[in-house]
Structure 1
Amino acid sequence: MNIGAMGTASGLDINAMVDKIVAAERAPKEERINQRKEQANVELSAYGRLKGALDGMKTLMADIRQNHTLAERTASSDNQDLVSVRASHEAQPGRYSVEVKQLATSHKIASQPVDDKTAMGAGKLTLSVGGQSFDVSFDQDQTKLLDVVREINRHPDNKGVLATVIKDASGARLVLNSDKTGAGNPLKVTVEAQAGSPLQSFAFDTGNPGSPMQEMQAASDAKVLIDGLAEVTSDTNTLTDAIPGLDIDLKQLSANAEKPQAVIEIGYDKDKAGAQIERFVNAYNQFYDTALELGKFDPNTQNKGPLVGDSMLRSSVQQLRNAFSTPLEEGPSSLQTLSELGVTTTLSGHLEVDYDKLDRQLNQNFAAVGEFFGSRKGFARRIEDMLHAYTGVTGSISNREKSINEQVLTLNDDQRDLERRMEGVYQRTHDQFSAMDHAMGQMQSQLGSMMSMMPQM
């Protein structure tokens, strides 16, 4: 700040002197504020790293529990041209043969040839498919076949009817196609128009052989034969309940395929389960390394981590260790601890995997592994709930971060208060020096006057 010139009477640089005095008073207070802000930022960064490491484990546990990633199945078809398959965690291992007897088709009908420039006149068509219907009304001005197609396709209540025009040597035909397959989704068209109106040629009902429109493709269900015994039908070409937990996508008829049958095999996805357990071990070890770094203290160099001595850091490590060694009360009788699975704690505090032991459990006890981790009160839920107490919105780390952020806001207020006080100190000090300079000027003036009145020596 510079609010005045150099002292004219004293010859002193008042501004420089005031700046130094104010800076000397500001420095210790500002240094304390900056140190506390720097410490707060260091702690916020440290808690952010700790929270991130814990959230990594929590996300993995939630994935295991919600998506059953330790109970997944493999599913394969030896004839992908005929059928493809997908299995959920509920599918039971087995081997099945599938023969596709019929594919599900959608209903398609077409009108007799008409002149596409013929005036259709006023009227109403009621179209229905799959139990849903909608009305399309036409004014006298809407006279072309293309207008009929546009009004059907644009109608806001149209839930599954596609209208098109096909032209051949005989003329133009209105073609209606359902977007739903299955015998239970036939098209029906009723017409309200004057007798002899061209709109009357668009009526259709499967129960009326004399309907003006013709059936180009019947609505039919898919039919498959499983293991040569069980015939299963479906209104779509994806079978979802023929074999529990297995989706079967039908590609073509067995009669048209080079190989008329497909052999489907369902098994346990042991590789994916093993990889998921390894990811869990790596996630914990990453957290543990982070915890060691944040809480380290070297007595020789006196170097220490930002959370050295922090009780929350110690408790998170200890609680996880206890959870790893405590048996599940409601777990499978054949698998109740991580060590039985082959996951143990080393002397350094990290987790390690005994792959021979893990492979035996996956090969001989796969269902129990999935239940151990993914059941309602399983290991994944235990760890997820424990970590949520730290990283959740109301968790201890979140509360600590909130407290530190409030401290930073208070320190920012303190900084602004300090700036205002220093402005006042600067003004008062400058006024005092200015007054001194003015007094010195007066004294010099008086001395000059006295000297001028004294006789010359």
Structure 2
Amino acid sequence: MTGLGSGIDYESMIAAIVGAERAPKENQLARQEGMNHAEKNALQEIQFTLNSFRDKVEDLNSSRELQKLKAELSNDDVLSASVDSNAVPGEYSFEVTQLAQTQRDQLFKTSEGSTFSKGTISFGAVSIDIATVKGDLISAEGGKKTAHHDQVYQDIADKHGLDVVADAAAIKDILETSTNPDFDQARLDSYTSQQQGYQNTIDRLTSDGVTVEELQSAINSDPANDGVKATLVRSGDGISMVLNGKDTGVTNAIGAITVAIAPADIKGNTLDLALPVNGQKSLQTAEDATVQFGSMTLTSATNKMENVIDGITLNIKEKGTVNVKVERDEASVNSTIKSFVADYNKIIETVNTYTKSSEDKAAALSGDSATRSMVSRLRGVIGAEYGSSTYNTLSQLGITTTRQGTLEIDQKKLDKALEDDFDAVSKLFIGDGVQTGMMDKMMVVLDDYHKNGGTYDRRIDQLEYNNKQIAEDREKLDSRMEAKTLSLRAYYARMDSQIARMNQTQSMLVSMLM
């Protein structure tokens, strides 16, 4: 603001002085902060590509990626087959003679809506007594009815500040008497309907017995049941209770099943249980899957035969004969190698982006020794010779280095190498069990730059710390400049006061002279 005594714009002068003192330090901090951010972003981008490449190398450093096999089937309706690197290439003939299946038995077939008052059903450790089931259900419904009654009374007591025991008569009056001022017809209707529902179930269980659905639930929820399931199958003339084994295979058979229910103890049934179609009968026996492999019989409790032959797993679908041809999956390995080259090139391209300066500006990592060292080590691994394979170098596979440092593939040469010696290609990358391959040495280099405590990780942490220090320095600069501003304001305020007094003296002297 302008000085009252002098008319001088002191605030602009203060701003100019403080700005001139702040500018060099502010510019220095901003420049350093910008350089730190640029370096950090560059390191993070390079580290990201390194980590992606490391994941690829880790996958490649196993036989599952570079010794892939595939299975071709003459008839995939009979079975499907999967193979891993332990399989031996060749042709295999299988004949599926039996599929694995669960035991399945009909316990009985009755008319829809039939109810049961007595009888037993037993299998394994399970023993269902229908009369006991009936008694338990009556007790359960009685408990639900009482609990519902108590809850409605408690709700009324809570709402009107009553004691549910001492004021039971008053609560009953509120619930049931229409002249009571707190009566609620909707509440009474709901209460009456639910209470009647519970009573109807109790009456039905008492006079008629349990439904087929309640009997099914009792079987499935029995504590001794280890997984056998009862299901209901409805047909045009009735409903069948069917017992299903837990799993396929002979060892998972349900075993002996005993059903003792007299026709007189079934109400509402019009079907003759003496007829075979309506009585207890086997619908399906428990069977193991069987497959003929030459003169050998292969068996399994399930329709999946894992590693039935080293590295070969069969998933059986139906009976029949099928030939399985196991051969090298050259196309998949070819694609894997291409992916390796592409990920390596991504690293080189990213490094080039952040280390090569242009005419307009310097690169964030221009001249960075750590990055140069990392690239040099990667190139050393790529260009080295390996004794684990008859192919000693990548160039023998048609993979060579360009002037830009990236890799390029001679596809015809790579295809021929895979065709001529599939195993030798994989050994160049993963070793032969005695001598290490390229991927082991590549992992040693990459682990030094991996995100968890690696070289770049530590540098990124240091840059983040440096920027925190810059933020603190900026706060200190702000504090100093604020103190400087206050000091200058006080100084100019005193000066302005003195000028004001001088002006007053001057005016007085002038007036006296006149």
* CA offset digits 1:79-103 (Å, max 9, x no partner): 1221222211222111122221111
1:51-130 to 2 correspondence within 5 Å?
A: 51-66=47-62, 68-113=64-109, 117-119=114-116
**Alpha-carbon separation, structure 2, partners of 1:372 and 1:134:** 65
How many angstroms does 1:387 deviate by? 0.9
Relative to the length of structure 1, the TM-score reads 0.82
**Alpha-carbon separation, structure 2, partners of 1:17 and 1:158:** 93
What residue is the counterpart of 1:438 in the other structure? 497
Contact 2:64 2:85 (8 Å CA) reproduced: yes
How many angstroms does 1:347 deviate by? 4.7
Higher RCO (CA-CA < 8 Å; seq separation 6+)? 2
Relative to the length of structure 2, the TM-score reads 0.73
* Distance change (3 Å), C-alpha of 1:111 and 1:134: closer
What residue is the counterpart of 2:415 in the other structure? 359
Residue 185 of structure 1, aligned match among 252, 256, 266: 252
* Distance change (3 Å), C-alpha of 1:442 and 1:268: same
Identity %: 28
* Paired amino acid for 1:60: K
* Paired amino acid for 2:456: I
Per mean C-alpha deviation after superposition, the further-off stretch among 98-107 and 83-92 is 83-92
Contact 1:220 1:235 (8 Å CA) reproduced: yes
What residue is the counterpart of 2:284 in the other structure? 217
Task: Report which of the two has the higher share of helix.
Answer: 2
1:276-295 to 2 correspondence within 5 Å?
A: 276-295=336-355
**Alpha-carbon separation, structure 1, partners of 2:407 and 2:127:** 64
* Distance change (3 Å), C-alpha of 1:103 and 1:437: same
* Paired amino acid for 2:249: G
What residue is the counterpart of 2:213 in the other structure? 146
What residue is the counterpart of 2:424 in the other structure? 368
What residue is the counterpart of 2:368 in the other structure? 310
Per mean C-alpha deviation after superposition, the further-off stretch among 32-41 and 14-23 is 14-23
Counterpart of 2:232 in 1: which secondary structure? strand
* Paired amino acid for 1:164: T
* Paired amino acid for 1:10: S
Counterpart of 1:54 in 2: which secondary structure? helix
Per mean C-alpha deviation after superposition, the further-off stretch among 435-444 and 392-401 is 435-444
* Distance change (3 Å), C-alpha of 1:126 and 1:431: farther
Q: Is 2:325 aligned against 1:265?
A: yes
Q: Is 2:381 aligned against 1:323?
A: yes
**Alpha-carbon separation, structure 2, partners of 1:251 and 1:101:** 11
* Distance change (3 Å), C-alpha of 1:196 and 1:434: farther
Residue 234 of structure 1, aligned match among 291, 300, 304: 300
What residue is the counterpart of 1:396 in the other structure? 455
What residue is the counterpart of 1:29 in the other structure? 25
* Paired amino acid for 1:246: I
* Structure 1 residue runs without a partner (length 5+): 200-211, 255-260
* Distance change (3 Å), C-alpha of 1:294 and 1:168: closer
* Distance change (3 Å), C-alpha of 1:42 and 1:123: farther
* Paired amino acid for 2:241: L
Residue 416 of structure 1, aligned match among 475, 479, 482: 475
* Distance change (3 Å), C-alpha of 1:359 and 1:10: same
* Distance change (3 Å), C-alpha of 1:40 and 1:101: same
Contact 1:121 1:138 (8 Å CA) reproduced: no
* Paired amino acid for 2:115: T
How many angstroms does 1:160 deviate by? 3.6
How many angstroms does 1:134 deviate by? 11
* Paired amino acid for 1:36: Q
**Alpha-carbon separation, structure 2, partners of 1:93 and 1:441:** 107
Counterpart of 1:91 in 2: which secondary structure? coil
Q: Which structure: larger Rg?
A: 2
Counterpart of 2:65 in 1: which secondary structure? coil
Counterpart of 2:115 in 1: which secondary structure? coil
**Alpha-carbon separation, structure 2, partners of 1:109 and 1:43:** 73
How many residues of Structure 1 are paired with residues of Structure 2 in the alignment?
Answer: 424
How many angstroms does 1:311 deviate by? 1.1
